[in-house]
């Protein structure tokens, strides 16, 4: 399985489209903070607007996608003279339609939704992404064409809004995230998405560590496989992933560990060994540092939740 597909499976991702925003000029739409383990996203189908997250102000055009992994409050701003700047919602079967209070012709067509993920691998994945993520799919003819088709499907289904619309839009939003993870370079913030390493040799190293987290991944082994010197490999890895080899390997191992703790009956000591830790105590320290709880407590809380089962 490729790394992006594996990550989405491990994160136990769920996607939902919350609103279709048809906003007029001079509108300021405030979006409150989302809950824990939720990440809002926006995809601009038509028009131009700005999105403000804290001190970051992003200019969006057709085809742009923004995701806010930490769920922070933000604002959508359309150009024009400001009068009454609020919005009004109309409930639908599958999502809410939001329009400017002052009326007028819409100047943007914006889909707003959110991803929900689990407290283990999902939390580690979203915490590792730039915040916010801003992606334009006009980077290549291939990605641009895929986004046009995806946008047309989302818009068509939103207009139809019938039986199955919520499920269809949820699936399309998951497709959107997969495209972001495999394509994005995070140009707007200067940060890098490690899931989209530009150098094929670095991408192979990333995929290897994700697929075999328990292997003996030394710098020497990785640089030799990439046909680079140690120094060159380290430099390229940090440039393409935005993190160090050590930090990335720790994240990959803990994501795999969270999955094993949730889906198998393996002991904590066995899980530690399977993901590459030499001792249970070292594993427990790393797990607690990244996830704020012990492996045993994490397993207990996750497997006691309704509908959770383990396999042998």
- Could you give all domains of the chain from N- to C-terminal order, each with its CATH number? 3-194 (2.60.120.10), 198-303 (1.10.10.60)
Confidence label for 80 from pLDDT (cuts 50, 70 and 90): confident
pLDDT of 176 > 90? The answer is no
pLDDT digits (tens, 9 = 90+) for 220-266: 999 999 999 999 999 999 988 888 999 999 999 999 999 999 999 99
Encode burial over 279-291: b for 16+ CB neighbours within 10 A, e otherwise.
Answer: ebeebbebbeebb
Q: Tell me what pLDDT residue 188 has.
A: 42
Q: Alpha-carbon distance 189 to 131, whole Å?
A: 8
Q: Tell me what pLDDT residue 84 has.
A: 57
Q: Alpha-carbon distance 230 to 203, whole Å?
A: 16
Arithmetic mean of pLDDT over the chain: 87
In terms of Cβ atoms closer than 10 Å to its own Cβ (0-12, 13-18, 19+), residue 140 is exposed
pLDDT digits (tens, 9 = 90+) for 38-68: 999 999 989 999 999 999 999 999 888 999 9
The rounded percent of the chain whose pLDDT value lies above 90 is 60
- Average pLDDT of the residues in 111-123: 94
Written as one string, the DSSP assignment of 2-63 is: -HHHHHHHHTT-EEEEEEEEEE-TT-EEEEPPP-TTEEEEEEEEEE-EEEEETTEEEEE-TT
Angle 280-291/245-263 helices, nearest 10 degrees? 100
Query: Which has more confidence, 59 or 184?
Result: 59
Q: Alpha-carbon distance 261 to 256, whole Å?
A: 9
């Amino acid at each position: 399985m490729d790394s992006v597909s594996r990550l989405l499976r491990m994160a136990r991702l769920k996607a939902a489209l919350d609103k279709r925003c048809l906003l007029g000029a001079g509108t300021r739409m405030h979006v409150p903070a989302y809950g824990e383990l939720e990440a809002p996203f926006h995809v601009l189908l038509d028009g131009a607007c700005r999105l403000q997250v804290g001190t970051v102000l992003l200019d969006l055009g057709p085809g742009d996608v923004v995701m806010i992994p930490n769920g922070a409050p933000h604002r959508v701003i359309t150009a024009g003279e400001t009068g009454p700047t609020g919005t009004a919602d109309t409930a639908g079967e599958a999502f809410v339609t939001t329009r400017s209070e002052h009326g007028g012709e819409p100047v943007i067509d914006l889909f707003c939704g959110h991803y929900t993920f689990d407290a283990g691998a999902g939390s580690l994945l979203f915490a590792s992404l730039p915040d916010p993520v801003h992606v334009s799919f006009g980077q290549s003819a291939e990605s641009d064409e895929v986004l046009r088709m995806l946008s047309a499907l989302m818009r068509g289904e939103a207009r139809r809004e019938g039986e199955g619309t919520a499920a269809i839009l949820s699936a399309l939003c998951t497709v959107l995230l997969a495209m972001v993870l495999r394509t994005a370079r995070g140009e707007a913030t200067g940060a890098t998405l490690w899931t989209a390493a530009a150098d094929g040799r670095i991408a192979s190293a990333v995929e290897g560590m994700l697929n075999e987290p328990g292997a003996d991944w030394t710098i020497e082994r990785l640089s030799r496989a990439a046909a680079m010197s140690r120094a060159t490999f380290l430099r390229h890895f940090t440039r393409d992933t935005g993190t160090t080899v050590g930090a990335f390997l720790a994240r990959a191992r803990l994501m795999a560990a969270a999955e094993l703790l949730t889906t198998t009956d393996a002991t904590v000591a066995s899980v530690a060994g399977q993901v590459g830790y030499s001792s249970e105590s070292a594993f427990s320290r790393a797990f607690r540092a990244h996830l704020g709880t012990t492996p045993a407590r994490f397993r207990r809380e996750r497997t006691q939740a309704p509908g959770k089962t383990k396999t042998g």
